[in-house]
Amino acid sequence: MATYLEFIQQNEERDGVRFSWNVWPSSRLEATRMVVPLACLLTPLKERLDLPPVQYEPVLCSRPTCKAVLNPLCQVDYRAKLWACNFCFQRNQFPPAYAGISEVNQPAELMPQFSTIEYIVQRGPQTPLIFLYVVDTCLEEEDLQALKESLQMSLSLLPASALVGLITFGRMVQVHELSSEGISKSYVFRGTKDLTAKQIQDMLGLSRSAISMQQGRPLQTPEQPAISSRFLQPVHKIDMNLTDLLGELQRDPWPVTQGKRPLRSTGVALSIAVGLLEGTFPNTGARIMLFTGGPPTQGPGMVVGDELKTPIRSWHDIEKDNARFMKKATKHYETLANRTAANGHCIDIYACALDQTGLLEMKCCANLTGGHMVMGDSFNTSLFKQTFQRVFNKGYNGEFRMAFGANLDVKTSRELKIAGAIGPCISLNAKGPCVSENELGIGGTSQWKICSLDPSTTLAIYFEVVNQHNAPIPQGSRGAVQFVTQYQHSSMEKRIRVTTVARNWADAQSQLQHIEAAFDQEAAAVLMARLGVYRAESEEGPDVLRWLDRQLIRLCQKFGQYNKDDPNSFRLSESFSLYPQFMFHLRRSPFLQVFNNSPDESSYYRHHFARQDLTQSLIMIQPILYAYSFHGPPEPVLLDSSSILPDRILLMDTFFQIVIYLGETIAQWQKAGYQDMPEYENFKHLLQAPLDDAQEILQTRFPMPRYIHTEHGGSQARFLLSKVNPSQTHNNLYAWGQESGAPILTDDVSLQVFMDHLKKLAVSSAS
């Protein structure tokens, strides 16, 4: 049997898809007994440097309820120029352009190596990309200066044809009219009163003329310069003036008395931004980029009052129902987020402050639209500056990585239905034969909209096997899924990425071992984790953990080999062996454990977890630990307290932090200054090695991780100590045969204890 690991990897590289199961149980009943649902992680715009796009329209199945795209799984009659849709079996005529095809002259979309293929299509006029800066001026002088410089810098990084706009806010909200001459003007709004989209458009003088209403087309600057171009101008025309305008921005002039927070009208500022774009450029790629240095304290969407003695809500407050503003504020931002997503725009949040800024209430703005969420201590840090630069990163082909307005349509063969999706998207409420009544994640649809995405954006899509138990599936037949993503490329081109995949069905009764062998434990862990984190948004924390534990026990009962009531006999096959460990670390992760994090921090972590690809998601669940010592080359080691040794340097990558930890002896050598002595140059090299490796990660990842350099006994060592499996604690210090390693002072269970409990429960005939 070929290794499934290779199969899994090849498929991921080619199609950007990882399934929890790669051989599918052929009946609904059996599928539910598998515990882990049939689901996949999909990276719709996975970077494929070897995939040149084709410049023609995709061929579609003619059945109106199907419209699947021609793909390598379709049967083709080259003589009669007919093809049979593999989803609905409709026979379709090839369009005239395909008259010359034959077995030896296949179009690309029929070749197996093009299971993923990209089309560039001409569909209407190209609409510009828009970048609307929404800037908080209630910042400290240094912070504001750094932010201004970053914004000025970003003007050089924008796509040349992009439109830009500027809204600043503090106690009032100012919409700046951008003109290339004379006095700069702005429209000022009170920050206390929310306005409808129509009111905003009227006040800004944006009401559409009757003519453009009849034409029903989006307004375009060259033809109607008077209407929209006052607030949104092409960057190549307005860059000098906007640079000056940004340079002249002042701190919010309203004085802040002792014991008070500045009055910050974030809710109204965002509302105006959304209304402005809604009225001028609906349905084109746009980023509303919110830069904020503190919580909203005024008007709709306020998260805390202006008295400093009233702290911003903590998890404790929320649990005790003591967060007065939370519900109303969340509703305000949810309404804005839904409107923004419906318009095809996205909202980025760049929040830099020492205290919380209201990410908990505002998170839907980024989560529903696919916008970014960046959290830092100050705009005057390299974490913010470099992360912000990376928003405008280009891929290896010199094109911007950001893409807009994606519409993902999923089709399945008739034995499967779609239960839902979890990721930075909204539902398009597309009903049809593929849609299941049982919802997992965002369900009730086979289409979702992702307003902003890049080559790493990954959705989790959950399926349901609907084939009845007594309706056997023919031997050797395969189920199929097609993912069709239409989107606006950064060059304003409209593109369509089509991925069609298939897997074998198998009868779970007689062929369980095949199904087992094709289990992808990494994908399954991330898919279950996303379900858990999704639940955690609406359920109590302990309930989510109980659910996760129950699923794990059931999985072990089904797939473990054991003798009843004999825990020591319990074994898991290789394709399942890491799964319990992933679940152990997931239970301890900041995604499910909110203790020790603020609500904003939890929202930030969950935001990134719901959109990263599999590799990064696994790092988040179970951080990677590397050890550097004189005993050999750098190597990955167990995420365990026994890995913490005095003569080692550890590098831990949690995705959000890079922690370098010097063991006790190393730290003492460093304090003694051995690295400065020429004869101990190798010690200097040893100290430098993890720093170099850390830099590689720090320079490339989005968002840039926090960099923590600490040592044995340092207060920041807690970042490492709280993550490692506490196999040695103050409770078992004198247990048998324990190698050295730092005991962790915790009452958390260790992986060993967890596994012991798990085995006991799995083999018990009482469960």
Q: Which residues bind another protein (CB under 8 A)?
A: 149-150, 152-153, 155-157, 180-181, 221-222, 225, 234, 236-237, 239-240, 243, 247, 389, 629-633, 645-647, 664-665, 668-669, 672, 674, 678-683, 685-686, 688-689, 692, 739-740
Buried b (16+ CB within 10 A) or exposed e, 330-358: bebbbbbbebbbbbbbbbbbbbbbeebbb
Q: Which amino acid is at 362?
A: M
Q: At closest approach, how far in Å is the CB of 643 from another protein?
A: 13
Q: At closest approach, how far in Å is the CB of 666 from another protein?
A: 8
Q: At closest approach, how far in Å is the CB of 743 from another protein?
A: 15
Q: Are strands 286-292 and 130-136 parallel, antiparallel or unpaired?
A: parallel
**Angle of helix 614-621 relative to helix 599-609, nearest 10 degrees?**
140
Around 581, how many Cα atoms within 13 Å sit in the side-chain half-sphere? 18
Q: At closest approach, how far in Å is the CB of 177 from another protein?
A: 14
Q: At closest approach, how far in Å is the CB of 342 from another protein?
A: 30
Q: At closest approach, how far in Å is the CB of 378 from another protein?
A: 15
Residue closer to another protein (CB basis): 399 or 756: 399
Q: Which amino acid is at 734?
A: Y
3-state secondary structure 681-714: HHHHHHHHHHHHHHHHHHHHCCCCCEEEEEECCC
Residue closer to another protein (CB basis): 4 or 674: 674
Residue closer to another protein (CB basis): 155 or 620: 155
Residue closer to another protein (CB basis): 5 or 240: 240
Q: Token pair of 535, please?
A: 């639940």
Residue closer to another protein (CB basis): 316 or 394: 394
Burial of 621 (0-12, 13-18, 19+ CB in 10 A): buried
Question: What's the CA gap between 687 and 230, in Å, rounded?
Answer: 56
Residue closer to another protein (CB basis): 123 or 631: 631
Q: At closest approach, how far in Å is the CB of 490 from another protein?
A: 16
Residue closer to another protein (CB basis): 585 or 712: 712
The answer to whether the CB of 500 falls within 8 A of the CB of 59 is no
Residue closer to another protein (CB basis): 187 or 674: 674
Q: At closest approach, how far in Å is the CB of 267 from another protein?
A: 31
Residue closer to another protein (CB basis): 7 or 630: 630
The answer to whether the CB of 475 falls within 8 A of the CB of 425 is no
Q: At closest approach, how far in Å is the CB of 348 from another protein?
A: 19
Q: At closest approach, how far in Å is the CB of 239 from another protein?
A: 5
DSSP 3-state assignment of 474?
Answer: coil
Q: Select from 673, 677, 619 the least CA-distant residue to 651.
A: 619
Residue closer to another protein (CB basis): 284 or 612: 284
Q: At closest approach, how far in Å is the CB of 224 from another protein?
A: 11
Residue closer to another protein (CB basis): 203 or 492: 492
Residue closer to another protein (CB basis): 95 or 247: 247
Q: Which amino acid is at 742?
A: A
The answer to whether the CB of 267 falls within 8 A of the CB of 301 is yes
Beta-carbon contacts of 381 under 8 Å, excluding residues fewer than 6 positions away, are 352
Question: What's the CA gap between 438 and 436, in Å, rounded?
Answer: 5
Question: What's the CA gap between 494 and 129, in Å, rounded?
Answer: 12
Residue closer to another protein (CB basis): 157 or 466: 157
Helices (H) and strands (E) in the chain, counts: 22, 29
Beta-carbon contacts of 33 under 8 Å, excluding residues fewer than 6 positions away, are 25, 508, 558
Q: Select from 732, 755, 572 the least CA-distant residue to 642.
A: 732
Residue closer to another protein (CB basis): 40 or 163: 163
Buried b (16+ CB within 10 A) or exposed e, 440-475: bbbbbbbbbbbbbbbbbbbbbbbbbbbbeeeeebee
**Angle of helix 614-621 relative to helix 579-588, nearest 10 degrees?**
60
Q: At closest approach, how far in Å is the CB of 156 from another protein?
A: 4
Burial of 212 (0-12, 13-18, 19+ CB in 10 A): middle
CA distances from 326 to 191, 192, 332, 599, 737 (A): 18, 17, 10, 11, 51
Q: Token pair of 134, please?
A: 């929404």
Adjacent-strand bridge partners of 504? 23, 478
Q: At closest approach, how far in Å is the CB of 580 from another protein?
A: 30
Residue closer to another protein (CB basis): 664 or 756: 664
Q: At closest approach, how far in Å is the CB of 738 from another protein?
A: 12
Q: At closest approach, how far in Å is the CB of 266 from another protein?
A: 26
